[in-house]
Structure 1
Amino acid sequence: MSWISNTFSSSIGRKIVMAVTGLFLCSFLVVHLVGNLQLFKNDGGLAFNAYSEFMSHNTIIRIMEIGLVLGFGFHIYEGLLLATKNKAARGSKYVSDHIEQNSPWHSRNMAVLGSIVLFFLVVHLYNFFGTLRFGTPLVDAQGNENAYALVVDAFHNIFYVVLYVLAQFALLYHLLHGFQSAFQTLGLNHRKYTPVIKLVGVVFSIVVCAGFAAMPIYFYFFK
């Protein structure tokens, strides 16, 4: 088993862990966005509350949440380690300046962007899941916990709306580099297919982040 520990403690191994967990979290973003689009239904929140109830009490989903938490944990841990090692490996100011001139800003600041997203996630989970599971939530007409009411209330707080939108910009730039980089790390890098992967990554990043950012803006200005 030593070869496994040696592999995943190496720089290449850590990058593979980052790539796999990153793509796994991308799939979570899609599922989460599709579910949250129920917020835009003009039904007083019934569809969103039913979705929230299903996600909160389904045994399979609860088990998958453990995998999700582990995915986030590994991704954050390995990301911080890689950022620290990369910073130390840059060496002289000449090398550092050369790297900065030949790479976009967001690719050099993935740890910063990820930290902003992490801070937002902590606030987000506290606001919604903490209130639903440890508070005394209202119920809707179907008897489901009224998560929709929590969303409406949160998205009428200008500070939370600003934080939410800024976090989506940070996530956008994090994904712009991370999506294509993950495929490259896994060896899926080809002269013919790489431009397609980059295009898909850009479209994916914009659509997902714009979808999430639209929610607080919609509720703050139109609900």
Structure 2
Amino acid sequence: MNWFTKTFSSTIGRKIIMSITGLFLCSFLVIHLIGNLQLFYTDGGEAFNVYSHFMGTNPIIRTMEIVLLLGFLFHIYDAIVLTRRNKASRPIGYANNRPEENSPWSSRNMGLLGTVILVFLIIHLWNFFVPARFGGLEPIVVDNVEYDNLYIKVVQSFKVWWYVLIYVLAMVALAYHLIHGFQSAFQTLGLTHKKYTPFIQKFGYAFSILICLGFAIIPLYFFFFFEL
């Protein structure tokens, strides 16, 4: 196992782990957004609460939550290690090299963007995931079955201006993070080709904008247009 440890603790190895976990987290974003779009149903939150109950009780989903958590932890840890290594190998820094001419802003600020996303994630999990998994939500009956009313918790949260602001800013940061990370992941994994790379770049850009816009629209809708 010595070769395995050396390989995946090297800079290249950590970049590979970053790429794989990043693409895995992208798939989670798609699934999570599809589930959240059920908030737009005009059924008083029944569909969303049934969906949330399924996600919280299905053993396969609960197992995948552990995999997802590990994916986040590996992604964050490797990002920290790689950032420190890059700084150590570049003592002079970008200032004297005109970075704006050599790399996009998102590429040079992945650490900052990642930090904003991490802070939001902690707040978001505390506000929704913890009550949903460990109690504290009001019950609601749907088709003679009692569910936790996560829907009303979401609606009430999206009526708080500072939470909506944090949410939207985090989605902007996530969009920039994904725009660079999506393309970079394919490049790191060696999946580049002069014929397909331009498509991957365009798809990554569109994916980043549409996914983050989809998430951002939800709190904005409830804050400006929805009445409790």
Aligned to 2:14: 14
Aligned to 2:203: 200
Aligned to 2:217: 214
Q: Secondary structure at the match of 1:87?
A: helix
Could you tell me the TM-score, scaled by structure 1's length?
A: 0.96
Deviations along 1:26-82, one digit per CA (max 9) or x if unpaired, are 000000000100001111100000000000011000001110000000000001111
Using the TM superposition, give the Cα deviation of residue 96 of structure 1 relative to its aligned residue in structure 2, in angstroms: 5.1
Q: Report if the CA contact (8 A) 1:53-1:144 is conserved.
A: yes
Q: Residues 94 and 127 from structure 1, CA distance in 2 versus in 1: closer, same or farther, beyond 3 angstroms?
A: closer
Is 1:53 equivalent to 2:56 in the alignment?
no
Aligned to 1:159: 162
- CA distance in 2 between counterparts of 1:59 and 1:135 reads 18
Aligned to 2:185: 182
- CA distance in 2 between counterparts of 1:49 and 1:218 reads 19
5+ long unaligned stretches in structure 1: none
Aligned residues between the structures: 223
Using the TM superposition, give the Cα deviation of residue 87 of structure 1 relative to its aligned residue in structure 2, in angstroms: 1.7
Equivalence map 1:8-157=2 (5 Å): 8-93=8-93, 97-142=97-142, 143-157=146-160
5+ long unaligned stretches in structure 2: none
Q: Counterpart amino acid of 2:205?
A: V
Using the TM superposition, give the Cα deviation of residue 138 of structure 1 relative to its aligned residue in structure 2, in angstroms: 1.2
Using the TM superposition, give the Cα deviation of residue 91 of structure 1 relative to its aligned residue in structure 2, in angstroms: 3.2
Q: Report if the CA contact (8 A) 2:56-2:133 is conserved.
A: no
- CA distance in 2 between counterparts of 1:94 and 1:78 reads 22
Q: Counterpart amino acid of 2:101?
A: Q
- CA distance in 1 between counterparts of 2:150 and 2:186 reads 36
Using the TM superposition, give the Cα deviation of residue 84 of structure 1 relative to its aligned residue in structure 2, in angstroms: 1.3
Deviant stretches of 4+, over 3 Å? 93-96
- CA distance in 2 between counterparts of 1:86 and 1:208 reads 30
- CA distance in 2 between counterparts of 1:134 and 1:140 reads 16
Using the TM superposition, give the Cα deviation of residue 100 of structure 1 relative to its aligned residue in structure 2, in angstroms: 4.4
Q: Counterpart amino acid of 2:9?
A: S
- CA distance in 2 between counterparts of 1:178 and 1:55 reads 28
- CA distance in 2 between counterparts of 1:209 and 1:94 reads 29
